[in-house]
Amino acid sequence: MLQVARLARRSLGDAADLVVSFIHSTADPSGGYCNRDARRDLYYTAFALDALVGLDAFDPLTPAADRTRQWLDTLADGADLDLVHRACLARAWAAQPTAAVPAGRREAIAARLAPQRTADGGFASRGGAPRGTAYGCFLAVNAHADLGQPLPDPDGVVRCLASLRSADGGWSNEPEQPLGSTTATAAAIATLRQLDRPVPAHAAEWLLDRRHPAGGFVAAPDAPIPDLLSTAVALHALDALDAPWRDSREQVLDFLDSLWTAAGAFHGSWADDIPDSEYTFYGLVALGHASV
């Protein structure tokens, strides 16, 4: 996704500077970046850093970058974090120069991912969960990659994802569901591709069926309006499968334009009033795919 976000500059042009200014506006004076409530947040920090890196606007030598690393260092190996935030910690360190990462930190964070493993071979956001989720598997697999650490038992993740296929051919975060979700389906596809495993037939068709006539992709078969997260991850999965979605390219660009703000950020959907670094990064990803 980070590589694709770099392509957004093709469409943004000079407006890329507005995005950089918006991300900088969410910085916390003590390091890190803030959420919608103006509170420092590791989740939003990971997205803010990726947005800056994607736009070639992250300077690791600035005092602000140094304060962010000092704050990340206080989180140590993420022992007090859940899987989502441990993955964000891994992602935030991945944005930093190799020499700036404390010795042994990558291995320590990776070791903290092991307790999130479930009996079915997957990973779950909640410790002690009986089954893994598509989202949990996606986070854990990519966190190991960000940390440069081998993933134990990748076949277990594949088995877990197989159990999460929904009756309609997508994926869900729970087994034996009648309908899949766009985010879970895209996460499963991305994870299987990351592990160099085959993606079941018709997965691309399931995602293509989530296209909204006005542009963008919906979160589920019964969702009324498209949203930016579903659009970004669907495009990412479809391009990974070389699926033919570009007949909808102009509609996708129109949808993205409808979520763009003069402040240099993206809203999450037509019903969302507050832009943030997370959706702005997903806007860059979607725009990057549509720019090719």
- Tell me the CATH number at 9: 1.50.10.20
The model's pTM is: 0.95
pLDDT, averaged across the chain: 96
pLDDT of residue 197: 97
**What pLDDT is recorded for position 238?**
97
User: Is the pLDDT reported for residue 125 higher than 90?
Assistant: no
Whether residue 127 is predicted with pLDDT greater than 80 in this model: the reply is: no
> Which pLDDT value is given to residue 79?
94
Task: Please report the DSSP string for the chain in residue order.
Answer: -HHHHGGGHHHHGGGHHHHHHHHHHTB-TTSSBB-TTS-B-HHHHHHHHHHHHHTT---TTSHHHHHHHHHHHHTTT-TTS-HHHHHHHHHHHHTS-GGGSPTTHHHHHHHHHGGGB-TTS-B-SSTT-SS--HHHHHHHHHHHHHHT-PPS-HHHHHHHHHHTB-TTSSB-SSTT-SS--HHHHHHHHHHHHHTT-PPPTTHHHHHHTTB-TTSSB-SSTT-SS-BHHHHHHHHHHHHHTT---GGGHHHHHHHHHHHB-TTS-B-SBTT-----HHHHHHHHHHHHHHH-
Domain span at residue 16 reads 2-291
Number of compact structural domains in the chain? 1
Predicted pLDDT at 292: 82
Does residue 129 have a pLDDT over 90? no
Indicate whether 128 pLDDT > 90: no
pLDDT at 246 > cutoff 80: yes
Which pLDDT tens digit goes with each residue over 175-224?
Answer: 999 999 999 999 999 999 999 999 998 999 999 999 999 999 999 999 99
pLDDT at 157 over 90: yes
